[in-house]
Structure 1
Amino acid sequence: MLSRLLLVPVLATGALALSVAPASAHSGMTGSDPADGATVDVAPDAVTLTFNEPPQALGTEVAVVGPDGTTVSEGATTVADTAVIQTLAAARPAGAYVIQWRVTSADGHPLSGELTFTAATDTGVEETAGGSTHPEPGPIEETTVPSTEETVDSAAAPSEAQEEQVTWRWGPTSIGVLIAIAAAVGVLVFVALRLRRRNLGASNDDHERREP
């Protein structure tokens, strides 16, 4: 009888413990990509943390620090079901990376932690002093600009053509025409003088005939 009385509290305590255990369980991280401590060929475009329950978006943040101490996480952290995703910048050098994360679990409790991974090679994209990325510049094509002398010669070309045209106008043919005109004028003057002398001679003969 006494043993039965002692068994009742034990069973009651066990039942209470079983009923409280599920309620006291919290959300937790079950995995990551890259895995904690892993070595990858190149740092991925994004890191993913997986939890046993969907975390809340409010208060969930992930920061990824590169080998040189600069933050390579870029953009806002997103929550997709039980996964928390954080994109990374285009320029990701080779070396050790640190993932610092903080999430708000489904029951409202804050969770945080830190993971590491190593990249064997870089992404091949250079980073400027301001943090922006750009590919290596290609060859620059040279543009030929006409010199000032060529421009002046082009502008002077019409004047030279006009000079040639003027020279042609006063060439040998034009001079021959002028000589012919002068000769014709001389002939006309000569004929006019002869006619005038002839008329004067005839007038004098008539005058002498009329005198007694």
Structure 2
Amino acid sequence: MRFLLALLAALSLGAAFAHTQVTAVTPRAHARVTAPKTVTLTFDEPINLRFATFKVVPLPAGADVEPTAAAALARRDDAALRADTAPALSGMAARVQLPLHAGLKPGAYLIVWRVVSDDGHPVSGHSVFWVQ
């Protein structure tokens, strides 16, 4: 009985320290699509949008994804460079839709995000899709 209680306690403790994860991205990673109207990110739990950053930016040919994603997250006053319309987001949500500018040119696009998990840890990620 003690073993079972210890096991249950350990399992619940692990869940308490889990970080927020993206469960779906649309367009999906590495997809080749006609110019979409929105990008959608779905998380495994509601996130506080006030403390989140989301961007969609063109990915130059030959660019390394990791440093480009880090630079995109760090950049400020970049609305003219972005493929998304930089919407003001607030509240809590497990699903985020980012409207995109009309007429995206063919090429690669990088979706980047940084959110704060329920446990207070920052979580960031990225995904790439191509417009045909």
Question: Which residue identity does 1:109 align to in structure 2?
Answer: H
Task: Flag the structure with more relative contact order, 1 or 2, with Cα contacts below 8 A and sequence separation at least 6.
Answer: 2
1:64 positional shift? 1.1
Give the number of aligned pairs.
112
What is the alpha-carbon distance in structure 2 between the residues aligned to residue 18 and residue 106 of structure 1?
18
The unaligned stretches of length 5 or more in structure 1 are 1-6, 121-212
- Counterpart for residue 83 of structure 1: 95
Higher helix share: 1
Is residue 35 from structure 1 mapped to residue 28 from structure 2 by the alignment?
yes
What is the alpha-carbon distance in structure 1 between the residues aligned to residue 44 and residue 53 of structure 2?
17
1:76 positional shift? 2.0
Alignment match of 1:93 (pick from 105, 108, 115) = 105
Write the deviation string for residues 88-137 of structure 1: whole angstroms up to 9, x where unpaired. Answer: 222410111111111223343221101000011xxxxxxxxxxxxxxxxx
What is the alpha-carbon distance in structure 2 between the residues aligned to residue 15 and residue 65 of structure 1?
44
The unaligned stretches of length 5 or more in structure 2 are 62-80
Which has more radius of gyration? 1
- Percent sequence identity is 35
CA RMSD of superposed structures (Å): 2.4
1:27 positional shift? 1.9
Write the deviation string for residues 171-198 of structure 1: whole angstroms up to 9, x where unpaired. Answer: xxxxxxxxxxxxxxxxxxxxxxxxxxxx
What is the alpha-carbon distance in structure 2 between the residues aligned to residue 89 and residue 100 of structure 1?
16
1:12 positional shift? 5.6
- Counterpart for residue 154 of structure 1: none
